Amino acid sequence: MSFTLISEHPLTALNTFGIAVNARHFTTLTERADLPALLTSEAYHQGPVLWLGGGSNLLFTRDYPGLVVKVALRGVQVLADDGDTVLVEAAAGETWHDFVCHTLAEGWAGLENLSLIPGTVGAAPIQNIGAYGVEVKDRLDSVVCADLSDGGAEVILANADCRFGYRDSVFKHEAAGRLLVTAVRFRLSRHAALKTGYGDIQRELDAQGIATPTAQDVARAVIAIRQSKLPDPAVLGNAGSFFKNPVIDAEAAAALLARFPTLPHYPAADGRVKLAAGWLIDQAGLKGYRQGAAGVHEKQALVLVNHGGASGSEIRALAQHVQDTVRARYGVELEPEPIVL
Please report, for residues 41, 60, 296, the alpha-carbon distance to residue 18 in angstroms, rounded to integers and kept in the order given: 29, 9, 16
**Neighbouring C-beta atoms of residue 254, cutoff 10 Å:** 12
74 catalytic, yes or no?
no
Query: Quick check: is 241 catalytic?
Result: yes
- 160 Cα distance to chain centroid: 20
Out of 89, 94, 112, 337, pick the active-site residue: 337
Alpha-carbon gap, residue 88 to 76, rounded angstroms: 7
Q: How far is it, in rounded angstroms, from Cα 282 to Cα 265? A: 15
Cα–chain-centroid distance for residue 230? 14
224 DSSP 8-state letter? H
Q: Are 89 and 77 in contact (CB under 8 A)?
A: yes
Catalytic residue among 241, 311, 314, 316: 241
Q: Which of 167, 220, 226, 316 is catalytic?
A: 167
Q: Strand runs (DSSP E) across the chain, as ranges? A: 6-10, 22-29, 49-52, 58-59, 64-71, 76-81, 85-91, 130-131, 134-135, 140-147, 153-158, 179-189, 237-241, 247-248, 265-267, 273-275, 290-291, 294-296, 303-306, 339-340
| 2 catalytic per annotation | no
Beta bridge partners of 109: 189
| Residues annotated catalytic, as ranges | 167, 241, 337
